[in-house]
Amino acid sequence: MKKNISVTASPHSQHKDITLLSVKGFIDTNTAPEFERTFQTVLGEKKYNLIVDLQETTYISSAGWGIFVGEIKRIRSQKGNLFLAAMSPEVVDAYELLEFDSILKSFPTVDQAVQKGFGKTTTGKGGRSGSMEAGPAKPAAEKSAVTPAAEAVSEKSPANISFVETPAVKPSPKPPFLLRIFMPWKWF
């Protein structure tokens, strides 16, 4: 049977306290054990500052996500952290659908994970930066919006009339996945 995964662990070229796990292929029930062996080896070496480079990963099943989520508490209890980087759009879709974005932080590139996640600087020469700019959407800055009625009136109004701007309406956050499933009023 052909292997559909390749996992390498290496220290970040500029920050030796950060370990980079690069995954090529996909993580499913057949390949998850190989990924987990490398992941557990790194944790066994007491390396708790981790970036998982998913630039060349095309799919992650629940078995793969379970590995990340199953160890995040242990990693953080050791004063470390785990960041995901350079996810493909297909991987981002599953990540957001399963709401792992509330547990695991991701960045569009490895360099951004180093800079924004671990608060370290990079010179751009070391570490893979990843070319995929597909990460979870960042909330837009809050803007004020002029109501349509005010816009219509302002075109025909004298210059001495002022209009009150109203703040843009922010959508309410959706409830957690399991809560949405078990909301009985949604069943009817």
Mean pLDDT rounded to a whole number for the chain: 77
Confidence of residue 4 (pLDDT cuts 50, 70, 90): confident
Predicted pLDDT of residue 123: 75
Strand order in the sheet with 81-85: 5-11, 19-27, 49-60, 81-85, 105-107
pLDDT in tens, 26-70: 999 999 999 999 999 999 999 999 999 999 999 999 999 999 999
pLDDT greater than 60 at residue 179: no
pLDDT greater than 80 at residue 3: no
- Cβ burial of 135 (10 Å; 0-12, 13-18, 19+) is buried
Predicted pLDDT of residue 167: 54
* CATH tag, 5-117: 3.30.750.24
Domain layout of the chain by residue ranges: 5-117
Number of residues written out for the chain: 188
pLDDT in tens, 101-151: 999 999 999 999 999 999 998 875 444 444 333 334 333 333 334 444 444
